[in-house]
Amino acid sequence: METPDLGFTHRFVPAPGGSAAPTLLLLHGTGGDEGDLLGLGRVLDPSAALLSPRGKVLENGMPRFFRRLAEGVFDEDDLVRRTAELAAFVARAADTYSFDRGRVIAVGYSNGANIAACMLLLHPGALAGAVLFHAMTPLVLETTPDLSGTPVFLGAGRSDPLIPPRGTEDLAARLRAAGAEVRLSWQPGGHALTQTEVEAARVWFRTQEALPS
Ligand code: MLT
């Protein structure tokens, strides 16, 4: 079947167990694409549907989900606009592929985790939960959204040169202040996604009763 034009180049893999299963919104890192996290999604939830868009911003030819002015310095106007665009894409995909938009869980790495964090903060209710690897506070809001009970796993590296540990700690604090149930899992390594943190996320995922299953 030809992939419908929903505004993002993307892959959709229907839930093997039927449409009652949750949908994982897979968001790759800088230089990645819509194929990158399909395997990770399957590891986290073998029964979920997978929706995986490709970031539309090109930085030296590398796809990203929003513009940055320098490493760790984000173009906030672009970030806000792209986050709304991504939320609208998910809503259109839910109509097109007939999945429940109230049962969408983001799984993001690096730049993809940062836009997912922004989606949690700016569009509370758009995500039922999130697994964010190597994320930081993407932008500072004057208001605190209501994320009561939303389960969020944050995987981080103590020596990550791109995501300073205090950026992840700040994100965890802001999500907790909004009422989210945050699990912050530290690994000794850097920016790469390791098997150990994927395993920690998998175990966490299985024990979250608040996540749709
Ligand atoms: C970002 O730009 O979102 C972060 O710096 C991580 C990355 O390098 O993609």
pLDDT, tens digit, 9 for 90 and up, residues 91-149: 999 999 999 999 999 999 999 999 999 999 999 999 999 999 999 999 999 999 999 99
State the closest ligand 1 atom to the C-alpha of 162, by its place in the atom list counted from 1.
5
From the CB of 111, is ligand 1 less than 6 Å away? Answer: yes
Residue of minimum CA distance from atom 7 in ligand 1? 111
From the CB of 2, is ligand 1 less than 6 Å away? Answer: no
Amino acid at 19: S
From the CB of 16, is ligand 1 less than 6 Å away? Answer: no
Residue 151 to residue 210: CA distance in whole angstroms: 7
Least confident of 18-32, 81-95, 163-177: 18-32
Inter-residue contact 124 to 157 (CB < 8 Å)? no
- CB contact set of 106 (below 8 Å; sequence gap of 6+): 24, 25, 27, 116, 119, 120, 127, 129, 130, 131, 132
Inter-residue contact 18 to 100 (CB < 8 Å)? no
Q: What are phi and psi of 169, to 5 degrees?
A: -60, -40
- Mean pLDDT estimate for the chain: 95
Considering just the CA atoms, what is the radius of gyration of the chain in Å?
A: 16
From the CB of 110, is ligand 1 less than 6 Å away? Answer: yes
Catalytic entry in 146, 160, 170, 185: 160
Whether the pLDDT of residue 18 is over 80: the answer is: no
State the closest ligand 1 atom to the C-alpha of 111, by its place in the atom list counted from 1.
3
| Per-residue pLDDT at 1 | 63
Whether the pLDDT of residue 213 is over 80: the answer is: no
| Per-residue pLDDT at 150 | 97
Residue 54 to residue 206: CA distance in whole angstroms: 27
Residue of minimum CA distance from atom 3 in ligand 1? 111
Tell me the percentage of the chain whose pLDDT exceeds 70. Answer: 100
- Residue 82's SS3 state is helix
| Per-residue pLDDT at 147 | 98
Nearest to 19, CA basis, from 100, 131, 134, 89 = 100
Query: How many angstroms separate the alpha carbon of residue 71 from the centre of ligand 1?
Result: 7
Nearest to 213, CA basis, from 93, 134, 128 = 128
10 is annotated as an active-site residue: no
Inter-residue contact 82 to 58 (CB < 8 Å)? no
> Where do the H-state alpha helices sit in 50-101?
76-97
Inter-residue contact 28 to 8 (CB < 8 Å)? no
CA distances from 52 to 26, 39, 124, 142 (A): 5, 11, 20, 31
185 is annotated as an active-site residue: no
State the closest ligand 1 atom to the C-alpha of 114, by its place in the atom list counted from 1.
3
Catalytic entry in 10, 36, 52, 110: 110
Query: How many angstroms separate the alpha carbon of residue 191 from the centre of ligand 1?
Result: 10
Average pLDDT over residues 184-199: 96
